[in-house]
């Protein structure tokens, strides 16, 4: 039954993607919209082949993608090693939460460009300001998810561990951390998406390479075919990265969904 359900869902996904491409092909084939606004699939494929072979503005397509992924991965790893422990500790200790939560809640709703100019003034226009922007964008969702994951743990679990003689360190690592892992991975997946959407902002200032910069630069010259190509590549890359995190989640939280 489970295998049949998966097959039906996969079929629906394929039909949805095929319908989108069919609509795109039909709209551009019959000239319903201008090529400048919505390029044809053929022109996007040709742009991809040209960019892959000859590059775009002095860099190959692989170099643009590699530059963006390097920025994204560095900032993301920094988020993992800082936001996860700080979020778990904040959920466990109200005093730590009282210190960190006002800062996170203040900047979290701000648009990235609102404080990017401040980062540029403080850190310059090189890679450090871009990494800082991506880091701040990814920190908040991970921190909030970790705090929420710890807070919603039932007191009975903690009291039961104390009754069995567990100290605070054992309670944190053997009870709280495993119970909050599901929320931790939810935050990690959310942070990846937020960082990727912030990538264009991070590559707007003094950048000469990167997928975000490529899309932005192409839009200035009304190269919608390049823009569509870049957006599609970023979307596919984002899906693959999310799949990696979900794969790790399944391996780490092997008990998730089981009774």
Q: Tokens at residue 235, please?
A: 């979307």
Q: Tokens at residue 117, please?
A: 């100019």
User: From CA 133, how far away is CA 159, in angstroms rounded?
Assistant: 41
Q: Is the CB of residue 131 less than 8 Å from the CB of residue 74?
A: yes
pLDDT in tens, 56-89: 988 899 999 999 999 999 999 999 999 999 999 9
Q: Is the CB of residue 112 less than 8 Å from the CB of residue 198?
A: yes
3-state DSSP assignment of residue 234: helix
pLDDT in tens, 109-151: 998 888 888 998 899 888 899 999 999 999 999 999 999 999 9
* Predicted TM-score (pTM) of this structure: 0.86
- CATH architecture of the region 40-252: Orthogonal Bundle (1.10)
């Amino acid at each position: 039954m489970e295998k049949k359900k998966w097959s039906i869902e996969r079929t629906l996904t394929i039909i949805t993607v095929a319908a989108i491409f069919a609509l795109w092909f039909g709209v551009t084939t019959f000239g319903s919209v201008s090529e400048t606004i919505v390029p044809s699939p053929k022109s996007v494929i040709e742009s991809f082949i040209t960019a892959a072979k000859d590059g775009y503005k002095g860099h190959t397509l692989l170099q643009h993608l590699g530059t963006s992924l390097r920025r994204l991965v560095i900032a993301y790893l920094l988020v993992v090693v800082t936001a996860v422990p700080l979020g778990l500790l904040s959920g466990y200790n109200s005093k730590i939460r009282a210190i960190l939560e006002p800062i996170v809640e203040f900047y979290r709703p701000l648009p990235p460009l609102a404080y990017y100019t401040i980062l540029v003034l403080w850190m310059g226009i090189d890679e450090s300001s871009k990494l800082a922007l991506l880091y701040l964008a990814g920190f908040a969702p991970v921190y909030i998810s970790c705090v929420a994951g710890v807070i919603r743990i039932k007191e009975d679990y903690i009291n039961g561990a104390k009754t069995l003689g567990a100290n605070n360190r054992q309670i944190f690592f053997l009870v709280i951390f495993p119970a909050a892992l599901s929320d931790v991975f939810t935050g990690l997946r959310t942070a990846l998406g937020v960082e990727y959407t912030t990538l264009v902002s991070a590559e707007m200032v003094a950048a000469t390479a990167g997928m975000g910069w490529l899309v932005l630069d192409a839009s200035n010259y009304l190269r919608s075919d390049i823009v569509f190509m870049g957006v599609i590549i970023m979307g596919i890359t984002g899906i693959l990265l999310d799949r990696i995190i979900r794969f790790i989640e399944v391996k780490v939280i092997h008990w998730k969904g089981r009774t």
